[in-house]
Amino acid sequence: MKLTHALAFTGTLAFAAVLSTAVVAQQADHSQHGGSQAQQPDHSQHAGHMTHQVGGQQTMNHAAAATQPTQAGQDAFAAIQEIVSILSADPATDWSKVNIDALRDHLVDMHRVTLYAQVAGEQIEGGMRYTVTGDTETAASIKRMVTAHARQVSQDSRWSAATSELANGVTLVVTTDHANDVAKIRGLGFAGFMVQGNHHQPHHLMMATGGFGGHQH
């Protein structure tokens, strides 16, 4: 009986020892596995940094594009640039006939007439009479530009526009038989009359390509 109890006790101790060894081994394995996880590199901060870099680059590119200048800087320069762009984009352009200098000469005329011409206006029956004069260069621009424009307006509208040459400019008479247009003619004045019609831009293209553009230099 005592021997049986002793054997049973000894077996219990052996089982406990085996169980304890297994638990310790499992804990050690788990600790090593956890340590391996802890030693793995954390890519989250790197990914966040990369995202910040990419996002920052996109922001910089957008800001750079948004701050690019769009104005040509001078009206005559911009008009010439526009015509050159149109001609360059058209494969049918015959560059042997292109004359950008003729367009520039016309733009000089426009500049002088718009800014330097001296204008005296008076109301007449059905419209206005203007005496448009200037110095030698301005007078030459007036004679070319105002005469051609008056002829074009008479062709394109229900107004009558006629010029007579002076030594230093022209006399311009603008009238209409339509009573409702009289106030408009008078309100526009000389400068407003000179911008009437949609022929200016097409004429610029015609001048640049060697076609008839309204007046000769």
Tell me: the pLDDT tens digits for 34-71? 444 445 555 555 555 544 555 555 555 555 567 888 88
**Contact by Cβ (8 Å): 175, 159:** yes
The residue-averaged pLDDT of 203-216 equals: 77
pLDDT for 153 equals: 95
Backbone angles phi, psi at 81, to 5 degrees: -60, -40
In whole angstroms, give the CA distance from residue 128 to residue 181: 12
Query: Of the candidates 199, 202, 214, which has an alpha carbon nearest to the alpha carbon of residue 157?
Result: 199
Q: pLDDT-based confidence at 211, cuts 50/70/90?
A: confident
Please tell me the distance from the alpha carbon of residue 190 to that of residue 117, in angstroms, as a whole number: 10
pLDDT tens figures, 118-166: 999 999 999 999 999 999 999 999 999 999 999 999 999 999 999 999 9
* Residue 15 pLDDT: 43
For residue 184, count CB atoms less than 10 angstroms from its CB and return exposed for 0-12, middle for 13-18, buried for 19 or more: middle
What residues does 34 pair with on adjacent strands? none
- pTM exceeding the 0.85 threshold for the entire prediction: no
Query: pLDDT at position 212, please?
Result: 60
In this predicted model, which residue has the larger pLDDT, 48 or 5?
48
